[in-house]
Amino acid sequence: MPSGSQFRTFQNVAAYDESLARHGQWIRWSRALTCPCLDQNLRQPNPKCSLCKGRGKIYRTPGVQSIVYETARHDSNGKVYPQNTPVSGIPIVYRRNVALTLAGSQPSPYTYIQLDPPHPKQWQELFVSYNFDPTISVTDEDSEVIATNRSRVTTPRFVTRGKPFEGSIAGVSRVYNDTKKETYTVTSFHKEYINLSSMGTWESGDALEVDYTYVKPFNFLLIGVTEKVRWESPWVLEQADSILMTPYWAKPSHDDLFTMLAGEQYGQAVIDPTFTVGNDVIKNYFDLSRIEIVVDEKGTEYTVGTNLELFGRNEIKWLTTKPSVNYTVQFMFHPTYTALMNMSSVRTSENKAFINRINLVRFENVGDSVKF
């Protein structure tokens, strides 16, 4: 070892978590389900299936999460604050493995848990078991109009290192012009954008209200792994591209998707528009951030926002008649990984947020040589 150099050791959990926060990458988790179109004899999906887009897998948010025995912050007034809110169902608060009595009146939504008196002292350690749903309902939020028949919800949902992550709209139930007292018809939505069939007599300065549900980004950290680290750390598989540090309650499977939220890369695909009816799907990419260039084999170039737009996470919605010949689309996308194996960390004895290590491989690099 060179003179003056030394190994950096983590003397406490706080320093360890701080290092993860400095070097990690926030990611989104999407649960994989086998599509019912799968042929039981051939074990092949229907390439024209509108549900899975010919992939054989349906990707959804992980759904309601069950948190078991989490260390809980609380105050002297009997308010207990889980790490994830709002809480769904009835939570359980423990002190020395004994469940405490909840107050008859609880906040709505469950942003904290109220205990009955006598309240625990602040120095006493409490634990909480509860469920929370990552799909959040929003009522009467202001909406920003960015183009004709197109609006956007503007409230940031998650900010880290100065970068906001909006989450994704899961459903829109109402768009209302409070100035003109008119209700608009929603035709589609994706990410934070809402498309309308007609905005009627809308004028600049009108106040729009929106009722919708959204899925907030999942707060997992993705840690890159180098070849040297693979060699030094036997718990990392040789074919893994990265390692994921997840909360102890996350139970991913090897077909689930993990998408980096902050990183972007260039990608391109050639699409046959006659293959599907409706939106064209970019099958091998799951989280496009924007479309850059679209040109067909006749040399015709199309304008994003006028001729077409990004729909959902990896679909192209044509606003005009789509071409009858193949076309090339260039875009920016967030890299996506699938899990190879879930292996426990040496920190499993600690009741902290990050204790699971999961080996990941880039989705588009998965081939026949990788066996799950």
Q: How is 104-166 classified by DSSP, letter by letter?
A: S---SSBSSEEBPSSPPPTTS-EEEEEEE-SEEEEEEEEEEEEETTEEEE----EEETTEEE-
* Range scoring the smallest mean pLDDT among 30-34, 232-236, 268-272: 232-236
Q: Looking at residue 345, what is its pLDDT?
A: 52
- Across 168-191, average pLDDT: 88
Question: Can you give the residue ranges of every domain in the chain?
Answer: 65-132, 137-214, 265-333
Per-residue pLDDT band for 367 (boundaries 50, 70, 90) equals very low
Q: Looking at residue 17, what is its pLDDT?
A: 56
- Across 233-241, average pLDDT: 74
Q: Looking at residue 59, what is its pLDDT?
A: 87
pLDDT in tens, 333-342: 988 998 887 6
* Range scoring the smallest mean pLDDT among 4-13, 173-182, 292-301: 4-13
Q: Which residues pair with 184 in a beta bridge?
A: 175
Which residues, at least 6 apart from 354, have a Cβ–Cβ distance to it below 8 Å?
A: 17, 20, 221, 245, 246, 247, 347
Q: Which residues pair with 349 in a beta bridge?
A: none
Widest CA span of the chain, in angstroms?
77
pLDDT at 360 over 80: yes
Which residues, at least 6 apart from 249, have a Cβ–Cβ distance to it below 8 Å?
A: 65, 66, 67, 68
Per-residue pLDDT band for 365 (boundaries 50, 70, 90) equals low
pLDDT at 370 over 50: no
Q: Looking at residue 2, what is its pLDDT?
A: 43
Per-residue pLDDT band for 154 (boundaries 50, 70, 90) equals confident
Q: Looking at residue 13, what is its pLDDT?
A: 54
d(CA 145, CA 177): 11
340 HSE (CA, 13 A, CB side): 22
Per-residue pLDDT band for 88 (boundaries 50, 70, 90) equals confident
Per-residue pLDDT band for 71 (boundaries 50, 70, 90) equals confident
pLDDT at 280 over 80: yes
Q: Residue 362's closest CA among 330, 325, 335?
A: 335
Question: Read out DSSP for 67-107?
Answer: EEEEEEEE-TTSEEE-SS-SEEEEEEEEETTEEPPBPS---
* Range scoring the smallest mean pLDDT among 125-129, 313-317, 343-347: 343-347
Percentage of the residues of the chain whose pLDDT score is greater than 90: 23
- Cα 262 to Cα 31, 186, 289: the distances in Å are 20, 29, 10
Per-residue pLDDT band for 330 (boundaries 50, 70, 90) equals very high
Q: Looking at residue 232, what is its pLDDT?
A: 67
Exposure letters 214-241 (e unless 16+ CB within 10 A, then b): bbbbbbbbbbebeeeebeeeeebbeebb
Exposure letters 286-310 (e unless 16+ CB within 10 A, then b): bbbeebeebebeeeeebebeebbbb
